[in-house]
A and B are shown apart, each in its own frame.
Chain A
Amino acid sequence: MGWDAKKRLTSTVVHLFLILGSICMITPFAWMILTAFKTKSEAISVNPFYIFPASGWHFENFVEVWNSYNFVVLYKNTLIMIALRVLCACLTATLAGYAFGRLRFPFKNFFFAIILVQMMVPGQIYIIPQYLIVSRLHMMNTQFALLLPGAVTAFGTYLCKQGYQTLPASLEEAAELDGCNIGQRFLLIMLPLTRSSLVSLGIFTALFAYKDLMWPMIVCPQTNATTLTAALSRLQGQFVSNYPQIMAGAVMAVVPMLIIYLIFQKQFVEGIATTGGKL
């Protein structure tokens, strides 16, 4: 067998293998979407030929779930929560990251230890007291409650610090000679250069907020105050064994993020590669 033929054979085998895997990955999504368009009796029919909705595509499931769970409110809550968390986390982290990465100030090592220790302590230890903070402030079922645990981020600060540290010192020295103060140097020169670590942090924060189930379940038990993810656990309880409607709810919960991902997939993948995707 010639070298070229051997190479082609390897490539074909690799592709076959990867395609097989891809099918395994896509099947649950396809099954979710297909089921969402079926009637209940079609969904539980044992006939394997009913892979596609037999009596046409039924949009009623979506309408019904949409109406009984105010999805407009759920989308709005989720979107605001994600926006607030990304904004707060990126803002506080980039400020602190710049200070830790580039400035000299008293007790710097002590303050940085505060960052590092928070990253090492497992997250569940914070949940009960954080819940008590929310409930003592009478802030249950509010956007404030959803934002709270993500308002600042030790991990993000660490990530931003790494970004600032790799930039050459000469950049700032030149700006200083030109008469820029620290604020100007940070805003005009350094901040734009760490854009990629900020994008990674933003994506990481957004995904984490979107996927989290326990926190919204605890602090926002009311259906009109909660997030998409937490509403799903309710929905499953209400439409017991009405799988087309449950799947319609799942489709509505995952599709927006899937679309955003397909558009910005390069940034998503880079974001995971740099943050380690510690979700």
Chain B
Amino acid sequence: MKKKMTPRQRTEAIWGLCLIAPTIIGLLILNYYPIFETVWQSLCKTGDFGKGNTFIGLTNFINLFQDKEVFSTLFNSFKYAVLSLPLTIFISLVLAVLMNRKMHGRTVYRTIYFLPMVCAPAAIAMVWKWMFNQDYGLLNHLIGTKISWVTDPTIALIAIVVVGVWSGIGNNMILFLGGLQDIPKDYYEAASVDGSTGIHTFFHITIPLLSPTIFFVVQTGVMGALNLFDLPYMIMDQSSRAWPSVKTITYLFYEYAFERSNRGYGAAIIMFLIAIISIITVILQKSEKKWVHYN
């Protein structure tokens, strides 16, 4: 049982509660109430502006599981994740290892690789759309091809992946650099005394000790990929025949909730996506014990 508080404890309690009040009240209104409303809406046929919701039970979900587009867009989001994540991680890891030494121009390189991080993805997308242009784009110009990067359904997703990787390596490189600098020098000294060199050291010392950072990058990367919206939206023409092959599930949600004003179905899509994300999170957490080493 709690004893009566001393005046000093009471003052502290009042201060504490007052200081957290803005954040807690804000979160309750802006985040907790919305969770329940989204769940409720996913069970409703919604009218405009949230008025006139009629409860229809699981109808939205039954429709959703028969909706081919839900699965094709989810598949696109997955494909994007599977293609872009390993590439981003590999390139940024190599860059981080190369830059993890005393060298001239380190800051300059870091600044350059980080540039896309401070640009709006919408602007980046516009620039790349122009670079991808079939007739006049710089890319075809340089390689001397006539590839229709963003209008060919088979390679449009590759184009999006290229932009995603290009914009993401700076961020991950910084995270890896931070992780590399936390590895104590003694490990490397001990390894080199034991006669370990280059590649061997990299795989047996660097990678295991960097695994918490790699895990973090994988986790946020998967979430980021499943939330992908602005890059495909800005790079692709929504009327293009390649659009169905890059349309992401987050875009499908946006389309139903805000363009077709079918918020109930939009809410159901989000609930579905969140279920998928939860499953992936659980799998990742389970796998964490197997390959992530915390000292």
Residues on A facing B (Cβ under 8 Å): 11, 14-15, 17-18, 21-22, 24-29, 31-32, 35, 43-46, 48, 91-93, 95-96, 98-100, 103-106, 108, 111, 114-115, 118, 121-133, 135-136, 148-149, 151-154, 157, 181-183, 186, 207, 210-211, 213-214, 218, 228-230, 232-233, 236, 243, 246-247, 249-250, 253-254, 257-258, 260-262, 265, 268-269, 272-273, 276-279
A103–B24 CB distance below 8 A: no
In the bound complex, CA of A29 to CA of B117 (Å)? 13
Asked whether any CB of chain A lies closer than 8 Å to the CB of B187, the reply is no
Q: Give the residues in chain B near A207, CB-CB below 8 Å.
A: 117-118
With contacts defined as CB atoms under 8 Å apart, how many contacts are there between chain A and chain B in the complex? 267
Are B127's CB and A257's CB within 8 A? no
Which residues of chain A are within 8 angstroms of B279 by Cβ–Cβ distance?
none
Q: In whole angstroms, how far apart are the Cα atoms of A272 and B18 in the complex?
A: 30
Tell yes or no: B90 within 8 A of A by CB: no
Q: Are B23 and A93 in contact (CB under 8 A)?
A: yes
Interface centre among A125, A154, A211 (most CB of B within 10 A): A125
- With most chain B CB atoms within 10 A of its CB, the pick from A95, A129, A211, A243 is A129
- In the bound assembly, the distance between CA atoms of A229 and B136 in angstroms comes to 25
> Given that A213-B120, A232-B122, A233-B234 are contacting pairs, would A272 and B26 also be in contact in the complex, using a CB cutoff of 8 Å?
no
Segment of B73-81, B104-112, B199-207 engaged in the interface with chain A: B104-112
Across the interface, A268 reaches (CB within 8 A) one of B49, B118, B130, B175, namely B118
Known: A18-B109, A128-B37. A269 touches B123 (CB 8 A): no
Q: Assess whether B86 is interfacial by the CB under 8 Å rule.
A: no
Assembled-state Cα–Cα distance A174/B270 (Å) = 51
The answer on a CB contact under 8 Å between B35 and A128 is: no
A-contact bits for B79-106, CB 8 A (1 contact / 0 none)? 0000000000000000100110001110
Among candidates B30, B170, B216, B273, residue contacting A148 with C-beta atoms closer than 8 Å: B30
Tell me the nearest residue of chain A to B9, going by C-beta: A104
Whether B26 lies near A18 (C-beta < 8 A) is no
The stretch of B62-70, B147-155, B223-231 that contacts the partner chain? B223-231
Total chain B interface residues with beta-carbon distance under 8 A: 91
Residues of B with Cβ closer than 8 Å to A? 9, 11-17, 19-20, 22-24, 26-35, 37-38, 41, 49-50, 95, 98-99, 103-105, 107, 109-124, 126-131, 133, 135-136, 138, 141, 166, 170-171, 174-175, 177-178, 216, 220, 223-224, 227, 229-230, 233-234, 250, 253-254, 257-258, 263, 266-267, 270-271, 273-274, 277
10 pairs across A/B with beta carbons < 8 Å? Answer: A32-B127, A32-B130, A95-B22, A96-B24, A128-B263, A154-B31, A236-B126, A262-B111, A277-B174, A279-B117
Taking CB atoms, residues of chain A closer than 8 Å to B220 are 276, 278
- Are the C-beta atoms of B122 and A229 separated by less than 8 Å? yes
Query: What's the minimum C-beta distance from B43 to chain A, rounded to whole angstroms?
Result: 13
In whole Å, how far is A264's beta carbon from the nearest beta carbon of chain B? 10
A94 to B23 CA separation, bound complex (whole angstroms) = 10
Shortest B201–chain A CB gap in Å is: 15
A266 to B39, CA, bound (A): 43
Query: In the complex the two chains form, is A214's CB within 8 Å of B254's CB?
Result: yes
Contacts of B254 in A (CB 8 A): 214
Contacts A152-B26, A152-B27 given; does A131 touch B258 at CB 8 Å: yes
Which of A126, A207, A257 lies at the interface centre, i.e. has the most chain B CB atoms within 10 A of its CB? A126
Closest chain A residue, CB of each to CB of B49: A135
B227 with A213: CB separation less than 8 A: no
Q: Are A232 and B26 in contact (CB under 8 A)?
A: no
The reply to whether B15 and A151 contact each other, CB–CB distance below 8 Å, is no
Shortest Cβ distance from A153 into B: residue = B23
Checking B12, B26, B95, B123 against A253 with a beta-carbon cut-off of 8 angstroms, the contacting residue is: B123
Q: Are B103 and A14 in contact (CB under 8 A)?
A: yes
Which residues of the partner chain A approach B29 to less than 8 Å between Cβ atoms? 133
Contact B227 A124 (CB under 8 A): yes
Beta-carbon contact of B128 and A103 below 8 Å: no
Please report the C-alpha to C-alpha distance between residue A232 and residue B270 in the assembled complex, in whole angstroms. Answer: 26
Are A99 and B38 in contact, with the CB atoms below 8 A? no
Interchain nearest-CB distance for B13 vs A (Å): 4
| Bound Cα distance A277, B23 (Å) | 22
Residues on the A chain within 8 Å of B112, using CB: 22, 25-26
| Of the residues A21, A43, A103, A250, contact of B16 by C-beta under 8 Å | A103
Distance A224 CA – B213 CA, assembled complex (angstroms)? 42
What would 4 more interface pairs be, CB under 8 Å, given A25-B113, A122-B273, A277-B171? A18-B98, A115-B23, A152-B26, A207-B117
How far in angstroms is the closest Cβ of chain B from A48? 6
